[in-house]
């Protein structure tokens, strides 16, 4: 059941005929929404689930276009490609409110929001807030503003007792009175009042420590990478731990959003540039028009339909979501597959799935593998498109043409291939055959457990375990990572 997270159990349906002998099953198989290609792709995917009552969807619609399955270099490229296609569709006369971007997790909307803002394309986040309007992002930004702009009283008030520090109304009232009397910003007033006996000893000690923390963090800005500064602030302030220890159902999503904010910082040279960007984004008030692209999670898309649907982030660990698999095993995998089915069948005319070869996670680049759901899609209903050289030298998808520089200093390097003008390596079945099978066939290279290897991003390490082309490697500096064998090279 796609409502398993609400307590629904698909077993109730599967047992129905047994629990109620003589019951008649009526299969509602005719579909009035999607094209045959979309239905074929969705049906071929959901057939992999064992816990279901089988049915074959059909429609009298024309075949339409195959479902596009696209591989890109990274998340930024994914957002650019989808944003540009949305703009092109709009210029071609398609209404924006007939276009949706459906993501597995809320944090994924950030890159698409920023791309659509850049293009001037109106959008709405359905069932949630825009990325920089979310509570945890506003809180984190407030910490950073106090560091960069100590006179920002609103920012200081927002986080002075977040997480709870025992600084109550009486303490803040005393700080406000001193600030008004001396004509000072709240941070400066707090610093002065901590040198007096105006506050209770415990409150004075806590406030003194907080002001000292801000002074120390501010000192890091000029000598430390701004990304590391933000990580330090979130950790040392206790803000990350507050959500990590929270039992609230939305806590995990808030942590993912904080990690995505750290990813966003990599696009800027310094903290000031990032804060200026956030201010500009926040000033970009929601357009009054009703014609807007819809950004939402797959869970939020149930029951809706659009002419065109983009489905980004179809990668192992993201979709199916690793946390769901860890907690629920096979049952959770089938739940994730049902969610993929829901996403595909939201589309009436066009559906495009995409995955990235690389993702930034909390400031660190990680190699990403296409979702197992991509492999499960029937070839007759899809059109595969990938950047040239995306999995260069790996044999993955047969796209190792021209993207790998044999003279590179990094063995097994995954390199961006070809000029941007040649973005995709044609259509069709991209080299033919099963992408994963192609990868597995390329591993006759002596990579065995215990072998010392080199990876472009993670450096040197030793193989701990091997499953086909997937390796689990204990890297000397990066720790244990799972990577594709075609991206490493054995070293002496």
Q: What is the pLDDT of residues 154-192, one digit of tens each?
A: 999 999 999 999 998 999 999 999 999 999 999 999 999
Q: Which helix (H) or strand (E) holds 101?
A: strand 99-103
On whether both 469 and 360 belong to a single domain, the answer is: no
pLDDT number for residue 433: 38
On whether both 147 and 275 belong to a single domain, the answer is: yes
On whether both 28 and 121 belong to a single domain, the answer is: yes
Contact 345, 39 (CB under 8 A): yes
pLDDT number for residue 32: 77
**Residue 20: CB partners within 8 Å, gap ≥ 6?**
none
CATH of residue 353's domain is: 3.40.50.300
- Domain annotation covers residue 179: yes
Percent with pLDDT over 70 in the chain: 84
pLDDT for residue 256 is more than 90: yes
- Domain annotation covers residue 180: yes
On whether both 158 and 252 belong to a single domain, the answer is: yes
- Domain annotation covers residue 415: no
Q: What is the DSSP letter of 25?
A: P
Contact 97, 296 (CB under 8 A): no
- Per mean pLDDT, which range of 18-27, 147-156, 423-432 is the poorest? 423-432
When pLDDT is averaged across residues 248-265 and rounded to a whole number, the result is 94
On whether both 79 and 137 belong to a single domain, the answer is: no
Give this prediction's pTM: 0.69
Question: Residues 61-82: pLDDT tens digits?
Answer: 787 899 999 999 899 999 999 9
The candidate with the shortest Cα–Cα distance to 292, out of 432, 130, 454, 56, is 130
- Domain annotation covers residue 432: no
On whether both 154 and 251 belong to a single domain, the answer is: yes
Question: Is 289 buried (19+), middle (13-18) or exposed (0-12) by CB count in 10 A?
Answer: exposed
Task: Place 17 in a pLDDT band, splitting at 50, 70 and 90.
Answer: confident
When pLDDT is averaged across residues 4-30 and rounded to a whole number, the result is 77
Mean pLDDT of the chain: 84
- The sign one gets for the Cα dihedral 311, 104, 334, 373 is positive
Domain that includes residue 31, residue range: 4-128+295-386
Show the CA angle centred on residue 183, arms to residues 179 and 186, nearest 5°: 35
On whether both 154 and 115 belong to a single domain, the answer is: no
**Residue 105: CB partners within 8 Å, gap ≥ 6?**
253, 256, 297, 313, 318, 321
Question: Residues 259-303: pLDDT tens digits?
Answer: 999 999 988 999 999 999 999 888 776 666 789 999 999 999 989
- Per mean pLDDT, which range of 6-10, 92-96, 144-148, 304-308 is the poorest? 6-10
Q: Give the residue carrying structure tokens 């702009």.
A: 149
- Domain annotation covers residue 442: no
Q: Which helix (H) or strand (E) holds 158?
A: helix 153-159
On whether both 109 and 33 belong to a single domain, the answer is: yes
* Pairing of the two strands 452-455 and 99-103: unpaired
On whether both 313 and 364 belong to a single domain, the answer is: yes
Task: Place 50 in a pLDDT band, splitting at 50, 70 and 90.
Answer: confident
Percent with pLDDT over 90 in the chain: 59
Contact 490, 446 (CB under 8 A): yes
pLDDT number for residue 487: 74
Task: Place 2 in a pLDDT band, splitting at 50, 70 and 90.
Answer: low
- Domain final position from 360, 386, 412: 386
3-state secondary structure of 206: helix
- Domain final position from 224, 253, 280: 280
Question: Residues 185-239: pLDDT tens digits?
Answer: 999 999 999 988 888 999 999 999 999 999 999 999 999 999 999 999 999 999 9
- Domain final position from 214, 245, 280: 280
Question: Residues 417-457: pLDDT tens digits?
Answer: 333 333 333 333 333 334 333 333 334 467 899 998 888 77
On whether both 221 and 97 belong to a single domain, the answer is: no
């Amino acid at each position: 059941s796609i409502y398993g997270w609400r307590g629904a159990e698909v077993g109730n349906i599967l047992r129905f005929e047994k629990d109620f002998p003589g019951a008649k099953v009526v299969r509602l198989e005719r579909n009035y929404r999607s094209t045959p290609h979309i239905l074929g792709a969705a049906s071929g995917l959901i057939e992999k689930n064992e816990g279901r009552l089988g049915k074959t969807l059909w429609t009298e619609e024309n075949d339409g276009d195959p479902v596009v399955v696209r591989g890109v270099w990274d998340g930024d490229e994914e957002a650019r490609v989808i944003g540009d296609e949305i703009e092109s569709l709009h210029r071609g006369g398609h209404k924006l409110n007939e276009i949706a971007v459906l993501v597995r997790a809320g944090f994924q909307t950030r890159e698409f929001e920023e791309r659509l803002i850049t293009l001037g394309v109106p959008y709405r986040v359905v069932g949630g807030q825009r990325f920089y309007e979310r509570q945890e992002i506003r809180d984190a930004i407030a910490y950073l503003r106090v560091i960069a702009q100590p006179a920002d009283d609103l920012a200081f008030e927002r986080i002075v007792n977040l997480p709870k520090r025992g600084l109550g109304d009486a303490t803040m009232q005393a700080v406000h009175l001193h600030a008004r009397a001396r004509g000072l910003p709240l941070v400066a007033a707090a610093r002065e009042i901590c040198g007096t006996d105006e506050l209770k000893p415990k409150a004075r000690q806590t406030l003194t420590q907080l002001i000292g923390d801000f002074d120390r963090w501010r000192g890091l800005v000029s000598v430390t990478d701004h990304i590391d500064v933000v990580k330090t602030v979130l950790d040392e302030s206790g803000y990350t731990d507050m959500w990590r220890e929270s039992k609230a159902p939305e806590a995990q999503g808030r942590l993912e959003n904080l990690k995505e904010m750290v990813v966003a910082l990599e696009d800027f040279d310094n903290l000031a540039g990032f804060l200026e960007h956030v201010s500009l984004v926040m000033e970009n008030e929601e357009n009054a028009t009703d014609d807007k692209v819809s950004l939402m999670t797959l869970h939020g898309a149930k029951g809706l339909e659009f002419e065109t649907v983009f489905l980004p982030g179809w990668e192992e660990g993201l979709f199916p979501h690793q946390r769901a698999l860890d907690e629920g095993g096979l049952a959770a995998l089938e739940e994730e597959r049902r969610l993929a089915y829901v996403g595909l069948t939201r589309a009436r005319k066009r559906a495009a799935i995409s995955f990235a070869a690389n993702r930034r996670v909390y400031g660190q680049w990680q190699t990403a593998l296409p979702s197992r759901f991509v492999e499960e899609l029937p070839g007759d209903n899809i059109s595969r498109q990938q950047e040239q050289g995306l999995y260069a030298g790996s044999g993955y998808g047969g796209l190792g043409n021209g993207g790998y520089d044999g003279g590179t200093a990094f063995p097994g390097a995954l390199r961006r291939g070809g000029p941007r003008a040649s973005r995709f390596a044609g259509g069709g079945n991209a080299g033919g055959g099963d992408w994963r099978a192609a990868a597995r066939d390329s591993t006759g290279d002596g990579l065995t457990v215990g072998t010392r290897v080199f990876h472009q991003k993670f450096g040197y390490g030793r193989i701990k375990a091997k499953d086909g082309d997937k390796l689990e490697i204990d890297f000397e500096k990066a720790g244990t990572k799972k990577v594709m064998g075609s991206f490493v090279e054995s070293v002496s």
